[in-house]
Amino acid sequence: MHDGIERYEADGFLVTGPVFPPQDIETIIRSVDALCERAARDSAMAEHCVFERDQPKEKRGGAEVREDDMSVFILGDLPRFCPELLPVILNAQLAGLVSELLGASGIVTHFANLTAKTAGIGSGISWHRDFPNKFISPVTPEMVRTMICLDGMSPENGATTFLRGSHKTPGIQASSIAENDADIAAAVCAPGGIVAIHPLVLHGGPPNTSSRPRRNIVIQWGRKGVPLATDNSESITGKTVEDLRAEFHGSGAPTMRDGF
Ligand SMILES: O=C(O)CCC(=O)C(=O)O
């Protein structure tokens, strides 16, 4: 992991090899697909979602989606709607990586969502920095977002793109990035890989023009004891890994498999 941490410090992001084996990824994909289908019918869940049809077509390179298309772009508070996914979020390698990145004696979760780019119509994401943000943001940039890439990422399926090193140059604005900037890099990875995003690095990504979906579980983590500057919360906000493990084991939720 140490190589990766050097890259994170230099570039503002890191990409790991597969952390989750193919059989685990298959199980997770089955769960998130079932959730997305439920979101299309369940109005309480739909309140936590952004649907592709709600996105401007410019984000999809002009591609139209039908009014009755219920493809999910973002599904918020993932563990609330699918507690059996908690062990995925609590994976020991993932939590270990986050602890190293935050250099912290304790880490807490802020939120977890599914960011899906549907085959052929999945929206692109504009250049932005994660800190500060209007949803759940600590008072200082002591946070990191991690993405578990269920399908892997490639330029064709809408891999997250980064402006390398931009976490060190706060003066660079999203609006001034040239399309051919030599520091733009796509986070290409295999299914089951993890991408960690520095809170101050500029990142975004193109639409999914491929014929396969691109699904990422995005988790924002913070340093324990650092207050939030925002009032929103999800079911896991402010909880430590230990809190969530205890909650999961006491919940009677069906386990996916040990080892996640
Ligand atoms: O899913 C992605 O490609 C990126 C998600 C993202 O930009 C974010 O959560 O800040």
Domain annotation for the chain: domains and CATH numbers? 2-251 (2.60.120.620)
CA distance 27 to 38: 17
List ligand 1's pocket residues with C-beta within 6 A.
115, 125, 130, 145, 147, 160, 203, 205, 216, 218
Q: If you measure from the C-alpha of residue 116 to the centroid of ligand 1, how many angstroms do you get, rounded to a whole number?
A: 10
Query: Does the reported pTM lie above 0.75?
Result: yes
**Residues 223-238 pLDDT 10s:** 999 999 999 999 999 9
Place of tokens 């649907």: 51
Q: If you measure from the C-alpha of residue 105 to the centroid of ligand 1, how many angstroms do you get, rounded to a whole number?
A: 26
DSSP letters of the chain?
-HHHHHHHHHHSEEE-S-SS-HHHHHHHHHHHHHHHHHHTT-HHHHTTEEEGGGS-GGGGTT----TT---EEEE--HHHH-GGGHHHHT-HHHHHHHHHHHT-S-EEEEEEEEEEE-TTTBPPEEEE-SSS-SSS-BSSS-EEEEEEESS-B-TTTT--EEETTGGG-TT--GGG--TT-TTEEE--B-TTEEEEE-TTS-EEE--B-SSS-EEEEEEEEEETTPPBSS----TTTTEEHHHHHHHHHHHTPPP--TT-
Q: Token pair of 2, please?
A: 């140490």
Q: If you measure from the C-alpha of residue 252 to the centroid of ligand 1, how many angstroms do you get, rounded to a whole number?
A: 32
**Residues 125-135 pLDDT 10s:** 999 999 999 99
Best residue among 72, 149, 216 to mutate for probing ligand 1's pocket (most ligand atoms within 8 Å of CB) is 216
Q: Residue 190 pLDDT more than 70?
A: yes
Q: Token pair of 30, please?
A: 């089955």
**Residues 41-87 pLDDT 10s:** 999 999 999 999 999 999 999 999 999 999 999 999 999 999 999 99
The per-residue pLDDT for 255 is: 61
| Total residues belonging to the chain | 260
Determine which residue's CA is closest to atom 1 belonging to ligand 1: 115
Q: If you measure from the C-alpha of residue 136 to the centroid of ligand 1, how many angstroms do you get, rounded to a whole number?
A: 14
In 3D space, the residue among 109, 188, 180 whose CA is nearest the CA of residue 146 turns out to be: 109
